[in-house]
Amino acid sequence: GTPNATRVQIRVPDGSRLTRRFLKTDPLAMVWTFVKDQVPEARTRAFELRTAFPPSAVADNDTLSIEEGKLENASLMVKWL
C-alpha cells in the first residue's frame, strides 16, 4: 500500500458501511463528497459526520487534510440532522 494512504470507514443510518482509501493529504471535504456520492439521501438531507470515539463532529473543510483532522483509519458515522 501507499504510505500516504489511509482507510476511512463510514457507518450509514441504514446500517450499511462504506469503506474507502484516501490520501492523508486529501481535504476533509473529500470524505463528505464521498458520502454524498454513495448515499443519495445525503445529497438533499442535512447530515453530520461524527467520529465514534471520542464522539465529535467532523468539519466539511476544504483546507484541513484528513491527517490534520486526525481521521487516519477512522470509523465515522453519518447522523441525519
CATH code of the domain covering residue 70 = 3.10.20.90
| Alpha-carbon gap, residue 35 to 80, rounded angstroms | 12
Number of domains the chain contains? 1
Tens digits of residue pLDDT in 37-62: 999 999 999 999 999 888 899 999 99
**Position 4 pLDDT exceeds 90:** yes
Tell me the residue range of the domain where 71 lies.
5-80
Q: What angle do CA 32, 72, 68 make, to 5 degrees?
A: 75
**Position 1 pLDDT exceeds 80:** no
- Look at strands 75-80 and 5-11 and give their pairing: parallel
